[in-house]
Amino acid sequence: MMAQSQVQTENAPVLEVNSLSQRFGGLTAVDNFNVKLMSGELTGLIGPNGAGKTTVFNLVSGFYQPTEGQILVDGKPTAGFKPHKVTSLGVARTFQNIRLWNDMTVFDNIRVAQHYWLGYGFFHSVIRSKRYKKREAKVAQEAQELLEVFDLQRFKEELPKNLPYGTQRKLEIARALSTHPKLLLLDEPAAGLNSHDVKDLIRLIRWIHEKFDVSIWMIEHHMDVVMELCSHIKVIDFGQTIAEGTPDEIRNHPAVITAYLGDDNI
């Protein structure tokens, strides 16, 4: 197991989760969860409300420490890591409810998210050393490029709270990408978007997936988004994996239909 994870081959899993469990008191939010995401994959995680999807994301991003099980990012175990450390290993995420820094400009939002490779500390920032200038220029350049490819250039000096909802989503994804992730976790990216924006989002995610060389794992309730984008889908309910497979397999899977629509034996 260990030997396998240390071999850095082209097809090494970006994320490997082994028998992950999370209990909150008596409640088992996630039970024996396993997943292996290969680099470049676009995977979906679906399930009814309260199934434990966001808990899985919180565990992977280091926000909770798992009760049991192991999470390997790029072959490295993340046990005991704070979220910022996990992010610097290459896992970025967005949130179900948009969590931008609303009183900082769009440009600053993207610059601050590059803290993990800032490479200078308090003293450099005060004396404005050569290192500071070099790193600031680099960070600004990265942020600038990201804004340009995301077509957010015109909002550079705006505050995020003044932007339309769809643009805020886009900005949040751009901010997540500024941490140079290998794996991008999208927690309900289509939540609160209208059907037109959802179409844009599908195009955006597909484009990100191609352009940024990043694996994407998304939670989504809009089935059309998941079915159209994901090559592989995992379904959980009450913390347990009830099905996995390609979109077509999931669509007709009896356990999934039961979980979503209920059992007709009642």
Partner 1 sequence: MKKYSLNILLVVFAIGLLFAAHFRIIDSYIQIVAMTIGINIMMSTSLNLVNGNMGEFTCGHAAFMCIGAYISSILSVFCFGSKFGDPLLPAASVLIVFPIIVLIGGAVAAVSSLLVSVPSFKTRDDYLAIISIAVNYMIISAIENMDFIGGSRGFQGMKDTVWAMIDIFDGPWMLFWVINFTIFTVWVIRRFISSTYGKGVNAICQDEVAAEIMSVNTNKIKIINFMVAAGLAGCAGGLYAHIIGYVNPQSFNILKSTEALVMVYLGGMGSLSGAVISAIIFTGLLEVLRSQAIIDGLLSPVTMMFPDWEPSAGVIKWVMIPLLLVIVMQFRPEGIMGNRELGDVFPKLKKFYRFK
Verify binding: residue 132, partner 1, rule CB under 8 A. yes
Q: CB-hemisphere CA count at 13 Å for 193?
A: 23
At 215 the three-state DSSP class reads strand
Which residue lies nearer to partner 1 by CB, 175 or 234? 175
Verify binding: residue 108, partner 1, rule CB under 8 A. yes
At 241 the three-state DSSP class reads strand
Which residue lies nearer to partner 1 by CB, 99 or 251? 99
Verify binding: residue 122, partner 1, rule CB under 8 A. yes
Helix axes 195-211, 165-177, angle to 10 degrees: 20
Instruction: Report how far Cα 202 is from the mean position of its chain's Cα atoms.
Output: 15
Verify binding: residue 63, partner 1, rule CB under 8 A. yes
DSSP code string of 45-95: EE-STTSSHHHHHHHHTTSS--SEEEEEETTEE-TT--HHHHHHHTEEE--
Interface with partner 1 in residues 167-226 (CB under 8 A): 175-176, 179
Verify binding: residue 61, partner 1, rule CB under 8 A. yes
Phi, psi of 139 (to 5 degrees): -65, -40
Q: What would the x/- binding string for partner 1 be over residues 71 to 90, using CB under 8 A?
A: -----------xxx--xx--
Which residue lies nearer to partner 1 by CB, 28 or 144? 144
Which residue lies nearer to partner 1 by CB, 71 or 256? 71
Verify binding: residue 134, partner 1, rule CB under 8 A. no
Distance CA 168, CA 176 (A): 12
Q: Interface residues with partner 1 (CB under 8 A)? A: 61, 63, 82-84, 87-88, 92-93, 95, 99-104, 108, 111-116, 118, 120-122, 124-126, 128, 132, 136, 139, 175-176, 179
